[in-house]
Structure 1
Amino acid sequence: MTSYGKSLEITLFLFFLLVAPRVLAQAGPPFQTDDPTPVDPGHYEFYVFGTIDGTPAELDPVGPAFEFNWGAVPNIQVHVIFPFGAVLPSNNPAYRPGGTGPSAFGVTDTELGVKYGFIKQTKHRPQIGSFTMFELPTGSYTKGLGVGRAWYKLPIWAEKEFGPWSLVGGAGYAVVPQKQYRNYFYGGYLVKRTVSERLELSAEVFSHAREGFAAAQTEASTLLDAGGYYHFKTPGLQLLFAYGHSIAGQTENYGYLGLYKTWGKDKDADQKAPADANFAGHWQTSGLP
């Protein structure tokens, strides 16, 4: 991670810890920054989406991909993503040994996760929680569609809101026990604004360290992403969209487009905004974002 990214993360972290009043938070898809708020017990979320993440070494589109989240018990959310994707190396000698090999498409690594909200938000403190992810080696390692071994993401996220504004942020560490990959830090901070009954807009700063020569992200990068959520008239149905570009470190592009549906036991469940994410979940090592 660049010194620019580290200083920016520290500044934003101190800022959102000082803000006060509480409202409902949201992060995760379509952004790379996640949040610590689990889905309510007995409620469900479903996404169908596609992402794009690329550097000069390699382009890694994902899609179609399917995400499901379940509020299993109070303060606990169970999460799964089953993705298809592609790996498109540039085969440019300038980026060797990374970015080499044939292109491929198929199933990529499956993501399982558990989100645990262990500190609830109050007037004077943010909500804090973990979102541990387990990446299962369902993608072909020989084709570059998967890491070939189980790997993990271990983040801590926090959120604080005031009026129509939301601040969400945190950091994590990925453990990738495979040759040509490496363990790496990542983190991000997101600001959201409710514009109208149907539209919410957000922007985030997201940083990651270099992820290894087998990934597209062969060097550290800091990105600025913008996008939002459009609420359809159908209860609980939303269009999610985001696009971003690096502002420091390795050149990198990020994009997300998806449909989201939520439902649950109570009559207000379909009105709730998406509470989680990943990729991370929606970006990942593996040769894929």
Structure 2
Amino acid sequence: MAYRSRDCRKFGLLLALACVDAPYPALAGPPFLTDDPEPTDTGHWEIYAPMIEAEGRGAQFEGTSGVELNYGAARDLQLTASLPLAYARDTRGWRAGAGDIKLSAKYRFFHDGRAGLQVAVFPGLTVPTATNAMGAGRVTALLPVWVQKDAGRWSIFGGGGYAINPGPGNRNYWTGGIAVTRRVSNPLLLGAEADRQGADTNGGGGSTSLGLGAIWQLKRPFRLLASGGPTFDDRGGAVRFHIFLALGLDI
């Protein structure tokens, strides 16, 4: 599988939003395909486990289940590692094995708290650690830029970048997305997004994913995260699906 942020992901620029309300902390990134520029607080951890991602069409799908670790290593700097178990179901039945480890570093180089605006780079790569042919078999990478604007209970974030996807028959591609979220109550945040990926194989086509997501704050430090929606291939065919489920822990 090629590297996407929440496996693949993202390209799109920020839109302006003008809704003023009482201030609330912004929450972005997981469970959305679209990522955000806000790093984990310095000296703290954000852990997503168990974390389940899948995409496919009907009874045929592939995905990962595992843990994602985010650590605030320094001011404006987050280090991330994803340790997945990969699985797939196709006409041959079920397959499973270790997935490719994903490593990335988010650096927020612009933050204007008064304007509610922040910008970050979040380069990442996958290490070919998969077994049973469940990974890319090569180092892949994503080089994105993410932007976010907060306005009261609302946040809008997006961006994207260039994916490096080596291998026979593969090609590099651009990918990106944009998302809007609103905190509808103290424990509940809801959002919607659109995500676009270019063709990742020679002669292949791109795809567009739409989705809805929610974050429910449980008794601290736990929260539940979920998202999902359809994916439409440029070349037509049956609509695919994508889902994300995780338990979040902030320490």
Q: Which residue of 1 aligns with 2:42?
A: 41
**Match 1:259 to one of 227, 247, 250:** 247
Residue 26 of structure 1 and its aligned partner are, at CA, apart by 2.3
1:243 pairs with one of 228, 231, 234:
228
Matches within 5 A, 1:166-245: 166-212=155-201, 219-233=205-219, 235-245=220-230
Moved more, 239-248 or 68-77: 239-248
Instruction: Kindly state the Cα deviation for residue 59 of structure 1 after the two structures are TM-superposed.
Output: 1.6
Residue 134 in structure 1 maps to residue 131 in structure 2: no
Whether 2:98 is the aligned partner of 1:107: answer yes
Check conservation: 2:37, 2:106, Cα contact below 8 A: yes
Q: What is the CA-CA distance between 1:121 and the residue it aligns to?
A: 2.8
Judging changes above 3 Å, is the alpha-carbon distance between structure 1 residues 14 and 152 closer, same or farther for their aligned structure 2 residues? closer
Worse-matched range after superposition: 246-255 or 178-187: 246-255
- Measure, in 1, the Cα distance between the counterparts of 2:174 and 2:57: 18
- Whole-angstrom CA distance in 2 between matches of 1:223 and 1:146: 22
CA offsets 1:208-230 (integer angstroms, 9 cap, x no match): 112228xxxx5311111002111
Cα contact 1:181–1:212 (8 A) shared by 2? yes
Residue 56 (structure 1) shift? 7.5
| Number of aligned positions between the proteins | 234
Shift of 1:37: 1.1
Confirm whether residue 59 of structure 1 aligns to residue 31 of structure 2: no
CA distance in 1, matches of 2:208, 2:88: 22
CA contact (8 A) 1:121 1:128 kept: no
Bigger proportion of residues as helix: 1
TM-score for the superposition, normalised by structure 2: 0.85
Do the aligned residues in 2 keep the contact of 1:43 with 1:71 (CA within 8 Å)? Answer: yes
* TM-score normalised by L of structure 1: 0.74
Structure 2 equivalent of residue 144 of structure 1: 133
Query: SS of the residue aligned with 2:42?
Result: coil
SS of the residue corresponding to residue 120 of structure 1 reads: strand
Q: SS where residue 15 of structure 2 aligns?
A: helix
Alpha-carbon deviation of 1:29?
1.1
Considering fraction of residues, name the structure with more strand: 2
Extract structure 1 runs of 4+ deviating beyond 6 A: none
**Superposition CA RMSD, Å:** 2.4
Letter in 2 for 1:243: G
Q: CA 1:232–1:125 in 2, change beyond 3 Å: closer, same or farther? A: closer
Deviation at 1:102, TM superposition (A): 6.9
Which whole-Å CA distance do the structure 2 matches of 1:167 and 1:71 have between them?
23
Shift of 1:146: 0.9
**Compared CA separation, residues 183 and 56, structure 1 to 2 (3 A):** farther
The one-letter amino acid paired with 1:228 is A
Deviation at 1:57, TM superposition (A): 11
Q: Any stretches of 5+ residues in structure 1 without a counterpart?
A: 1-8, 91-100, 264-289
One of 108, 130, 140 as aligned partner of 1:117: 108
**1:57-108: per-residue Cα shift (whole Å, max 9, x none)?**
9621211x10111100111111000000113345xxxxxxxxxx77520111
Q: Percent identity?
A: 32
